[in-house]
Structure 1
Amino acid sequence: MTPEKLLRQIDFIKEIDKLKYIQRKTKLFNSDRYENDAEHSWHLALMAMILFEHADESVDLLKVIKMVLIHDIVEIDAGDTFIYDTQKAHSNTEEERLAANRIFGLLPESQAEDLINIWEEFEAGETQEAKFARAMDRLEPLLQNSSNNGGTWNEPGVNYNKVYAKKSVIKAGANVLWEYAEGLIDDGVKKGVLKKD
């Protein structure tokens, strides 16, 4: 007989497969294909592994990797909110909280509690790990848009001020990466793919 704990873990593993179907607004590097949430999370985990030496302060890399791998799981239920959406705030909503409780709640209690705590820490953005994880989350689509002739910067209502404000989160976790990101934003303006109103 299969232990109940294992069955719950397998149920969770099956459920999170749905992350592969959540489309994002950004496209893969130099591509017309939209990225999905699973690809995004995987990419952030590898970015964290490669770039963590640039964090402003020492970070627990395993915790950062956990954060970036699970931060968007709630979008299975809540959907992906475009970072520049003017109708819906790109923040921790009640909808996401319900999703976190349901999806992580599929796991045995101690694992569910651990992942909910990590997700909440990421969302709060106050610890060094959360600041660095959020820097990765904001840097990746910036790199994509830079490689795609502006990408989502071409969406209605998106301009330099909005991009700068949203991407400045990078500065809180990795100043060196923020300096690089600022250069990409400025290049977008110079190339005419990011409007400065």
Structure 2
Amino acid sequence: MNTSTFLEILKVAEKLKCNTRHSWTSSGRHESVAEHSWRVALMALLMRDEFPELDMDKVIRMCLIHDLGESFTGDIPSFEKKEEDTKKEDEAFFEWLDTFPSPYREEFTELLTEMNDLKTGEAKLYKALDNLEAVVQHNEADISTWIPLEYELQFTYGADKVQFSPYLKDLKKELDNRNKQKIAEANNA
């Protein structure tokens, strides 16, 4: 890849550092999309031993690129995102990928297609981690940043995505326990 193309791709991707999510960090500021994507990838890296049958390098690549479409659309919280928002994001991402040189154009297109289809173990794991990271982040944020619907969403978000894995179901149970404790502490304060 020539250096000009390389720097143009990074320029677009840099927007993920600027685009914030609905989530807050433990220090009290909005989380960036880039921070979310980085930690989803870290979660995959830390789970290699739990999923030896999966191509974890592919899962990590999925995690790193999964929100690149938000460079164009910004982040829309899952509880507000509509099908047309997802379609617009994917269209912008695929259009951008058409400007990539080979083999990156083909690789990223194949990854995004596989991620959207959610049929492979790698795609299912990426999607579960994407959802679980949001639950983890909300739990780490001060409860004063939660909006009313998040008291239930913390328990339901991602629950359907972990069903294929005993390990992920256990992780979700642990997160649920921590959320219950956080809510109880807030109610007793």
TM range (shorter): 0.7 to 0.9
What is the Cα deviation at residue 48 of structure 1? 0.8
What is the Cα deviation at residue 127 of structure 1? 0.7
Q: Tell me: CA distance 1:127–1:179, structure 2 relative to 1, closer, same or farther (3 Å).
A: same
What is the Cα deviation at residue 190 of structure 1? 4.8
Match of 2:78?
83
Question: Any residues of structure 2 matched to 1:24-173 within 5 Å, and which?
Answer: 24-28=21-25, 30-55=26-51, 58-85=53-80, 88-89=81-82, 93-150=86-143, 154-160=146-152, 162-172=153-163
Say whether the 8 Å CA contact 1:125–1:131 is kept in structure 2.
yes
Match of 1:12?
9
TM-score (norm 2): 0.83
Number of residue pairs matched? 186
Please give the root-mean-square deviation of Cα atoms over the aligned residues, in Å: 2.7
SS at match of 2:104: helix
Using the TM superposition, name which of 68-77 and 169-178 deviates more: 169-178
What is the Cα deviation at residue 134 of structure 1? 1.3
Match of 2:168?
177
Say whether the 8 Å CA contact 1:20–1:39 is kept in structure 2.
yes
Measured in 2, the distance between the counterparts of 1:175 and 1:83 equals: 25
Gaps of 5+ in 1: none
Q: Tell me: CA distance 1:54–1:101, structure 2 relative to 1, closer, same or farther (3 Å).
A: same
Q: Tell me: CA distance 1:167–1:151, structure 2 relative to 1, closer, same or farther (3 Å).
A: farther
What is the Cα deviation at residue 26 of structure 1? 1.2
Q: Tell me: CA distance 1:123–1:73, structure 2 relative to 1, closer, same or farther (3 Å).
A: same
What is the Cα deviation at residue 14 of structure 1? 2.1
Q: Tell me: CA distance 1:191–1:156, structure 2 relative to 1, closer, same or farther (3 Å).
A: closer
Gaps of 5+ in 2: none
Alpha-carbon displacement from aligned partner over 1:128-157 (angstroms, at most 9, x marks no partner): 0011111211121212222224466x2143
